[in-house]
Structure formats: structure tokens, C-alpha cells
Copies of this chain bind each other. A is one copy, B any other.
Amino acid sequence: MDKIKVSIIGATGYVGAELVRGFVSHPAFVITDLVSRSFAGKAFSDVYPVFRGICDVILCDKTPEEVAKDSDLVITALPHGVSSQQVPVLLDAGVRVIDHSGDFRYKDLATYEKSYKLEHPHPELLEEAVYGLPEFYRDKLKSARLVANPGCYPTCSLIALAPFLKADLIDKDSIIIDAISGVSGAGRKSDLAYAFCETDEAFKPYGAVGHRHTTEISEQCSFLSGGKPGDIKVTFTPHLAPFKRGMLATIYVKPSDKFENVSTSAICDIYNEYYKDETFVRALPQGVLPDVKAVAGSNFIEVAGVYDDETSLIKLFSAQDNLGKGAALQAIQSANVMFGLDESLGLNTIVRGV
């Protein structure tokens, strides 16, 4: 069978590099164009020397139309506001697209425009775009023309919350998400704030109110609970931690009246049952808690929960690699679904080990 041709626009950011890592060993895809305005003319492996001899594709600065010509799938890893300009061009050229920005993740236009402080040039695409969380939207992904790859914090939060939201087991007004991300989440850039001497041995919250991922999580929580945008508003606080890759969410929720006999063991059972057929979601055994180390470099996400009977709160935990399940590798999982492949093809051996 001919390989599926995939191109990446914005190939030299950390998400782009992780996409290359995933596709370069993928048995069903072949990389055609790697687009990078900053590094056009250089080899990808000049920018990421670890890929010397593995991916020496010459970076180009083709237009979206040109890229579309020789691709079956284009993955855009572009800033928001730029994606909303380029993605429609790609779609018009007849190619399928997975976009990594926030531009197509919302169904509610007003929420997007308020969150991103931008007017959307193509709001008609919001309805069509499929939110690229295969665990929840697998069927729609199969035929999707445009997939909005979820934010890293949203993926981490939603995988942890879904079983409880879907079964109405938690109080919808009570969701508090406290999350941390590794430094690669800030992207590949020259910025003193992310310099080694400023970041190492540091730890801090940021975006303490109004981080964009808050509204993305809220809208998806609303959908998962069977409601409409605006039904659920979550409290969300991100933090920056001194390691390269990884993300952990600690979530506090109140059990609803429907959750009878709530206990740590019951929470554990719910996760096990809900995710029993999912390759990439690990419902951990009771007594084991998620650890960033256990998912680093992979598309896996771990979930666990406990019940604090002193305060009658449920704590949910989830850990993923922010560039893996939180970004690039999840996009490959969606790509597998879009093209009718085994969903875990090329993904289930990608890990980092020690």
C-alpha cells in the first residue's frame, strides 16, 4: 500500500519536532513537506541534530496551496490567528488538516473570540471542526476534514473528568483543576523567562485567572456532561515546573447525589470500566498515582482518583507528556483514526525509558 503523505507546517517548534519523531518511524505515513519560515533551506536535522541521518528533509517555505498539492494530510503547528488564515486555504485545496492552535477548538464563537481576543475570519468552520480527542470523538474523526487538536491542559483534564461527567457523578459547579506543565509547553524560543538559569530550581503559577485553556476545558466539560457551551465553568490554575516534558493535573470535585457509596475503590472501578478498551489511557491500580515520569515521551495518559472522606471531596489525578498525548502524538493517534488505520499504529512503542 502506498504510504499516506503527511506535511507539517511549523515543523521546527517542539510540537513539530515531536510530530517528526512520530511520523518518521510510522509504518503508514511518509513525510513530504516540512515547512518552516525561519529555517527554510536548512535540513530539519540542522535544527534538531538528534535527527541527523533520521530526518534530513530540507525545510521549505511553501505556501499552504503548494503544500496541499503533494499531501494527503497537513498538520499545522502555528500560532492562533495564523492557523485560522492558513487552514481554510488548505481545506479549499482538498487536503485534510489537523490543527494545533486554539482557532478551531471551540463551538461557541463568542467564547473563542473573548478568550483569544481575536475576530475569527472563518467562523463557519467551527461547527465542522472535530475536537481531536479520539477517546470521545472517534467516530467523527473518521471522516473529519478538519481536526482541532486539543490543548495540552484540556486533554489532561478531560480524560480525568469524562467518566464522572458523563455519568453525572460530580457536582458540575465544583470543578477545580490545578495543573503543572514542563518547560517545553512554552515553545522553542529565545526568552529570558525560559532560560536555564531562570527556570531551573524555579516553580511558579502563571495565568492565575483567565488562562485560555480554561474556557476550552469548560466548553468540553459541558459537552461531556450532555450540555451546551456555558453550562460548566471550571476553575483552572497552570504552573510551570522545571523539567522539559510532562504535565500533571490534580483535580478537586464534589461527588453528586447520584454517586452512591463514593470511595477510592469506586473511583478506581469507574476509571477501569470506562477506559477498559482504550490503548492510551491507563487506569492505574488502586494505590498507584500518576507520575510524569511514567508517561514521558509517549502517547499514554495515566489516571487515578481518591476519595477524601474527611472533607467529602474527590481528587482526580492525570499525567501525560505535554508534547505527546498533550499535542503531537495525540495528533498522530487522530491521524490514524482519520485514515482508517489501527489507532495505535506507530505509537505504542514510542517511549523514553530511563
A contact residues vs B (CB 8 Å cutoff)? 14, 17-18, 20-21, 24-25, 48-54, 173, 176, 178, 180, 182-184, 188-192, 194-206, 208-209, 214, 233-235, 237, 239, 241-246, 248, 250, 252, 264, 279, 282, 288-298, 300, 302, 306-308, 310-311, 313, 315, 317, 319, 323, 348-349, 351-354
| Given A195-B195, A234-B311, A206 contacting B289 (CB threshold 8 A) | yes
| Given A53-B300, A197-B244, A248-B205, A17 contacting B354 (CB threshold 8 A) | yes
Q: Indicate if the CB atoms of B282 and A197 lie closer than 8 Å.
A: no
| 4 nearest A-B pairs in the assembled complex, by CB-CB distance | A25-B349, A49-B294, A202-B293, A204-B291
In angstroms, how far is the closest chain B Cβ from the Cβ of A333? 14
Q: Indicate if the CB atoms of B50 and A353 lie closer than 8 Å.
A: yes
Show 5 A/B contacts (Cβ-Cβ < 8 Å), sorted by A. A17-B353, A53-B279, A176-B252, A209-B264, A239-B248
A350, closest chain B residue (CB)? B25
Q: Indicate if the CB atoms of A297 and B244 lie closer than 8 Å.
A: no
| Given A289-B206, A294-B49, A354 contacting B200 (CB threshold 8 A) | no
In angstroms, how far is the closest chain B Cβ from the Cβ of A344? 9
Q: Indicate if the CB atoms of A50 and B190 lie closer than 8 Å.
A: no
A204, closest chain B residue (CB)? B291
Q: Indicate if the CB atoms of A195 and B194 lie closer than 8 Å.
A: yes
Chain B residues whose CB sits within 8 angstroms of the CB of A295 once the complex forms? 50
Chain B residues whose CB sits within 8 angstroms of the CB of A233 once the complex forms? 310-311
In angstroms, how far is the closest chain B Cβ from the Cβ of A307? 8
Other than A50-B351, A180-B241, give 12 A-B pairs with Cβ distance below 8 A: A21-B351, A51-B353, A53-B282, A176-B313, A190-B195, A194-B195, A201-B293, A201-B296, A204-B290, A208-B317, A234-B311, A242-B243
Separation of A354 and B53 alpha carbons in the complex (Å): 17
| Given A294-B50, A308-B209, A242 contacting B239 (CB threshold 8 A) | no
Chain B residues whose CB sits within 8 angstroms of the CB of A176 once the complex forms? 176, 252, 313
A185, closest chain B residue (CB)? B197
Q: Indicate if the CB atoms of B205 and A282 lie closer than 8 Å.
A: no
Chain B residues whose CB sits within 8 angstroms of the CB of A241 once the complex forms? 180, 203, 241-242
